[in-house]
Structure 1
Amino acid sequence: MINFATVGSGWITDSFIQAAQLSGKFQLVGVHSRTEEKAKQMADKHQAAHYYTNLEEMAKSEEIQAVYIASPNSLHFEQALIFLKNKKHVICEKPIFSNTAELEMAYKTAEENGVYLLEAIRNIHTPNFHILKEKLAMAGPLRSAMLPYISYSSRYDLLLQGEEPNIFSAAYSGGALVDLGVYPLYLAVCLFGEPKKVTYHAVLLRTGVDGSGTLVLEYEGFVCTILCSKISHSELLCEIHGEKGSFLLEDAAPISEIKFIDSHSKDSQILSVDQEEQNMIYECLSFANVIESKNDEEYNLLKNWSQIVLRITEEARKQNNIIFSIEK
């Protein structure tokens, strides 16, 4: 059992705690929030023995072996370093950091302290992702892919009213690509590898970040197009097209259904399986395997994927002059 603590008090933290406990691999021992009132509420809600408002104090606790960080994006790096330097494994919610310089420094710190740094990205750990990866060759030579994640955010209403929510703020390293686009981007990288060329066409907001955009990934023989938006709604399926057949995915995360359609006969078959409703359980099991078994082969694979994805989002931002406040 891995004793873990959390940083952040949003819904995603609640979900991760629930999934971690359902996995049977993690035991919650502490929570952190910026105010004592919120920290105590979080601890009471999840029966955690300790609550903190001071990260340094929390990081020094001998009871804590790992920490899950789900604070605003721009805070991830500074907070992760505190725990890594205190020899705690860090599981950081996507997007792991703001740029590749932060990522490489954090990996170096993790290695120096004999701990793991892992990015929480739920869709690539699910059974249906593994099925898709295993069955990908059924499509024959790939010729195109269209991977949308378009979901209207209620926080966009706040932006329209003159406020600046974290997820739409350069000060907090926000934007559609790093928030939603990473899900289909991870699918592309994990299935197809690193693209030869990246082009991003962004719709910029008054805050200096992207509200939506089209990311084009060029591979040998085919192109993958990723559509992401937090300012509109769509029910488009994800599609991967090959000469022998095509895959239709109901969604990019958590990949609830996979249908394969034969190009010649047009016959279709469902390849997916039913997954746990609390689908974050799969990443928890994966992370526990890395930590408990010291599975460096799996760790290096996940590390490589995180590096490629962050390189792509950083290049995409540069092309559109999207500069986060921490980079100025």
Structure 2
Amino acid sequence: MVNAESPLIDAVYIASPSSCHASQAVMFLRQGKHVLCEKPLATNAREARAMMETAVAHRMVFMEAMKTTLTPLSLKANLFMLSSGVDGEGSLILKYDDMEGVVQFSKITDSSLPSEIQGENGCLIIDRIADPKEAVYTPYSAKWLKA
């Protein structure tokens, strides 16, 4: 049995029978764990509402595992493996119909670079994605948009 209070756990993936989703998700959300929950999210609207309200109250990410909404048209991956066979660092380029996403990760370095999300009209900079304290949105200038 997983200890929901463990400081070693940041997030959980719930793939148990649907009838267990609500109680398990609420338990983990109350303990400050982000939750990715398989479909169906809940067995009824009351359970779903309780799960979402708990996530909001505890400021946790809670989402249903809907692969089709996040599936890129193409994926290019680059990976550096350690001699132990463990992935050390890498990057992904994800291409969608109307955008491209770039993800970089590392288990062997501690970058101080912020995370950046670029949109059509501006850019969102998040100071530290694992423990965000500040997010700043900067709209692109009108001159940039006309170019």
1:223: how far off? 1.2
Distance 1:239 1:5 in 2: 33
CA contact (8 A) 1:128 1:258 kept: no
Counterpart in the other structure of 1:262: 139
CA contact (8 A) 2:122 2:137 kept: yes
SS in 2 for 1:115: helix
Task: Give the superposed CA RMSD.
Answer: 4.1
Distance 1:264 1:232 in 2: 34
Residue 102 of structure 2: which of 225, 230, 241 is its match?
225
Distance 1:224 1:94 in 2: 22
Distance 2:120 2:60 in 1: 22
Residue 111 of structure 1: which of 12, 17, 23 is its match?
17
SS in 2 for 1:198: strand
Counterpart in the other structure of 1:242: 119
Counterpart in the other structure of 2:43: none
How many aligned residue pairs are there?
113
Residue 34 of structure 2: which of 122, 125, 129 is its match?
122
Unmatched runs of 5 consecutive residues or more in structure 2? 37-54
CA contact (8 A) 1:122 1:253 kept: no
- Per chain length, whose mean CA-contact separation is higher, i.e. which structure has more relative contact order (CA < 8 Å, sep 6+)? 1
1:254: how far off? 3.4
Q: What residue identity is the alignment partner of 1:216? A: I
Q: Comparing both structures, which one devotes a greater share of its residues to strand?
A: 2
Distance 1:123 1:216 in 2: 25
Distance 1:123 1:94 in 2: 6
Q: What residue identity is the alignment partner of 1:115? A: C
Unmatched runs of 5 consecutive residues or more in structure 1? 17-69, 71-92, 97-105, 131-185, 267-328
SS in 2 for 1:252: coil
CA offsets per residue over residues 90-140 of structure 1, 9 Å max, x none?
Answer: xxx6464xxxxxxxxx83xx327x31255875399575979xxxxxxxxxx
User: What is the TM-score with the length of structure 2 in the denominator?
Assistant: 0.56
1:172-211 to 2 correspondences below 5 Å: 193-211=70-88
CA contact (8 A) 2:123 2:140 kept: yes
SS in 1 for 2:89: strand
SS in 1 for 2:3: strand
Distance 2:35 2:113 in 1: 18
The 3 A distance-change label for structure 1 pair 128 and 262 is farther
CA offsets per residue over residues 121-163 of structure 1, 9 Å max, x none?
Answer: 5399575979xxxxxxxxxxxxxxxxxxxxxxxxxxxxxxxxx
The share of aligned pairs that are identical, in percent, is 20
Distance 1:123 1:257 in 2: 22
Q: Which has the larger radius of gyration?
A: 1
1:234: how far off? 1.4
Distance 2:35 2:142 in 1: 30
CA contact (8 A) 1:128 1:257 kept: no
The 3 A distance-change label for structure 1 pair 5 and 129 is closer
1:1-328 to 2 correspondences below 5 Å: 6=3, 13=6, 15=7, 94=11, 96=13, 107=15, 110-111=16-17, 114-116=19-21, 118=25, 122=34, 127=59, 193-264=70-141
Q: What residue identity is the alignment partner of 1:111? A: P
User: What is the TM-score with the length of structure 1 in the denominator?
Assistant: 0.28
